[in-house]
Amino acid sequence: MSLSYEERKTTIMESLEKEEKVQVRVLANLLQVSDETIRRDLDRLEKEGFLKKVYGGAVKNKIHSWELPFDEKTTINQKEKQAICKAAADLVEDGDIIMIGNGTTPLDMISYLSDKKDITLITHSVPVMLGAMDSFKGRVIFIGGEIERNQKYMSGPLSERMLEMLRADKTFVCAGGISTANGITDYDISGSSISRKMMERAEEVIVLADHSKFGKTTFAYMCSITDASKIITDQSCPDEWKKIISAHGVELIVADEF
């Protein structure tokens, strides 16, 4: 009887753990299936973030531990981020208390909140706070703490202690990567820690992630995929990942083209 994908996946991952590299022909002989079946399995495992395909096989997925400086990131996937921000702002209702995390993705949310009434905004992001001072009509609460200069946000024990005193209806946080193997991750420990605290203090957690974040793992674990209430992405989100997110029981919102 032929093995199911999940059974083949277990064998492939065990082999990869031992050898750090697997070859299509060796796996095909081991599992008694065709080379083409193994190639399809490796394609799927790569999309799910478990490994990286190379010529003739696959290697362990590289963990992305280095993040571009904040100002450089603002020029990447700008249209996609704007579309995500508009879709995120559409979820905000009059009277909401919202938290917005750090990162370049949520920056444009502020401009799309102008028609909302009686909104309280809580943020630890310096750029979000400055943007809110210029154009946001609601109440702004800035979370203090130790500044992370490269990414322009506040974090640490003081930040988390302040968040413990507050509650929100919705929290909007960014993902550095999303994979089925490692969940939702961020580039640094302090960033992932304060994002988790913001998630704990909200009734609903909305994760903002453009298409480049799927199938990717960054350094610090933030949460499991199922900890998100909703994930907002752009039109270039891979179809495979639409199925994966749905299978986890999480609502995926694909933002309209901007």
Mean local confidence (pLDDT), 23-52: 90
CA distance 145 to 158: 5
Out of 8-22, 123-137, 181-195, pick the least confident: 8-22
The CATH classification number of 5-60 equals 1.10.10.10
For residue 218, what is the DSSP state?
Answer: B
Sequence-distant (6+) residues with CB within 8 A of 241 are 47, 178, 214, 215
Q: What is the pLDDT of residues 205-230, one digit of tens each?
A: 999 999 989 988 998 999 999 999 99
Q: What pLDDT does 10 receive? A: 84
Residue 138 pairs with which residues in a beta bridge? none
In the predicted model, is pLDDT for residue 65 greater than 70?
no
The CATH classification number of 70-254 equals 3.40.50.1360
Q: What is the largest CA-CA distance in the chain?
A: 66
Domain range annotation of the chain:
5-60, 70-254
In the predicted model, is pLDDT for residue 1 greater than 60?
no
Q: Which amino acid is at 248?
A: H
Out of 45-59, 131-145, 240-254, pick the least confident: 45-59
Q: What pLDDT does 15 receive? A: 86
Q: What is the pLDDT of residues 180-202, one digit of tens each?
A: 989 999 998 999 999 999 999 99
